[in-house]
Amino acid sequence: MADVESPMAGLLAVEDLTVAFGRGSSAAAALRDVSFALRRGETLALVGESGSGKSLTALSIMGLLPTEGQVSAGRVLLGGDDLLRKSRDDMIRTRGSRVSMVFQEPMTSLNPVLTIGRQLTEGLQFHRKVSRAAADARALDLLRLVGMTNPEARLKQYPHQLSGGMRQRVMIAMALACEPDLIIADEPTTALDVSIQAQIIDLLLDIKERLGTSILLITHDLGVVAEMADRIAVLYAGRVVEIADCLQLFDAPRHPYTEGLLAAVPRLDLLVADGADRIRLAELPGSVPSPGERLSGCPFAPRCSLAIERCSAEMPPMRTVAEGHTAACWVRAAA
């Protein structure tokens, strides 16, 4: 893991994070040696299929893993502090004030019986100990920041009175309330329809530009990645297989899995074209190995067309293939 940037350069550094479910011999590793770094003001996208460990990485950073899962190795450094070593009370103080999160489901992520104003001001009241009036004023600013119409009236409304797009704006405002350095956006646009997706992406870009907040974007939607991310980390079966700048990854992917992922993106022009141009959607053969399977080599080897003998025997390390571009593959990223 020598190629991972030093944690000093950035805001967040995840180093060799390993998370397992279950205990003893029945333990199944859901994340293995996950390492990546995120600089201040940068957007890093974590991409991968369902079950590749994207959301689990986010929950590990937040310290909100389900009770069955435990971090068995690694560090999560936020501005130099290891979040995994923090006490529970310290972690409660960190959540919301330094790291915050936006969830996938805006319809159910707001408490149905509390007003928007109360939910927005909650974090402020216990992190900043501000007065009710000051918190309300801040809530109003936040609603304006996220582009809500008629913010005064919104404060008194309940979640069911807002549309999905507006609720996601409220979620983003909640995450921003205490000006955290890092926002983890877990599939922030997945549950929204396409035109609203674009609005939310614009909003996140705008906020990043104005407040300099770093964003860890978790998604399987490569279209969203292309619009938002500065850099991309590709996860496969709980391992990071490739990290590169956004353009570089789209232009010259090195890991065969990344190539497969990019080939599977539907292109409307080719799908509906007449005659010879018309193509079927590419798909990756096989399926992701389950966390219980203990593979000694590269987890992608069984599905990889380029696999050589060494692939199934030994896990390839992350190697630098170009400036700021690392990949773990014996064939494509060989020394």
Partner 1 sequence: MSTPIPIVADTVDRGTGIASPRRQLLRRMLRSRSLVIGGSIVLFVVLVALLAPIIAPFDPDHIGTGRRLAVPGGKFLLGTDEFGRDILSRVIFGARYTLYIGLVAVGIGLVFGVAIGAAAAYAGGWFGGLLMRVMDLLYTFPDVLIALGLVAFLGPNLTNAMIAVGLSAIPYYARVTYAVVLSERQKPYVDAAQVVGASHIRVVVRHLMPNVLPPMIVVASLGFSAAVLSAAALSFLGLGAQPPMPEWGLMLSTGRNYITRAPWLVVGPGVAIFVTVMAFNLFGDGVRDLLDPRQRQRTL
Is residue 193 part of the contact set for partner 1 (CB under 8 A)? Answer: no
Is residue 171 part of the contact set for partner 1 (CB under 8 A)? Answer: yes
- Kindly tell me which of 37 and 170 has the beta carbon lying closer to partner 1: 170
- Least spacing, CB of residue 163 vs partner 1, in Å: 6
Q: Which of 46, 57, 76, 127 binds partner 1 (CB under 8 A)?
A: 127
Q: Which stretch binds partner 1 (CB under 8 A): 195-203, 235-243, 288-296, 325-333?
A: 195-203
In Å, the largest CA–CA distance within the chain is 67
- Kindly tell me which of 38 and 101 has the beta carbon lying closer to partner 1: 101
Q: Which stretch binds partner 1 (CB under 8 A): 23-31, 92-100, 248-256, 323-331?
A: 92-100
Q: Which of 126, 223, 250, 303 binds partner 1 (CB under 8 A)?
A: 126
In whole angstroms, what is the distance from residue 173 CA to residue 272 CA? 39
In whole angstroms, what is the distance from residue 90 CA to residue 319 CA? 36
Q: Residue 47, exposed/middle/buried by CB under 10 A (0-12, 13-18, 19+)?
A: buried
Pairing verdict, β 319-322 and 325-327: antiparallel
Among residue numbers 2 through 31, which ones bind partner 1 (CB under 8 A)?
none
Closest to 111 (Cα-Cα) out of 169, 171, 62? 171
Which strands form 28-38's sheet, in the order they lie side by side?
28-38, 12-21, 69-78, 81-82
Q: Which stretch binds partner 1 (CB under 8 A): 13-21, 70-78, 102-110, 271-279?
A: 102-110
- Kindly tell me which of 215 and 321 has the beta carbon lying closer to partner 1: 215
- Kindly tell me which of 109 and 248 has the beta carbon lying closer to partner 1: 109
Sign of the CA dihedral with 108 first, then 114, 119, and 124 last: negative
Is residue 205 part of the contact set for partner 1 (CB under 8 A)? Answer: yes
In whole angstroms, what is the distance from residue 154 CA to residue 198 CA? 22
In whole angstroms, what is the distance from residue 319 CA to residue 335 CA? 7
What the block records as the tokens of 35 is 């390492």
Is residue 79 part of the contact set for partner 1 (CB under 8 A)? Answer: no
Alpha-carbon separation of residue 148 from 3, 116, 144 (angstroms):
43, 12, 6
Is residue 70 part of the contact set for partner 1 (CB under 8 A)? Answer: no
What the block records as the tokens of 51 is 């079950």
Q: What residues line the site for partner 1 (CB under 8 A)? A: 62, 64, 67, 92-97, 100-101, 103-105, 108-114, 122-123, 126-127, 146-150, 153-154, 157, 161-163, 165-166, 169, 171, 174-175, 177-178, 196, 199, 202-203, 205-206, 209-210, 227
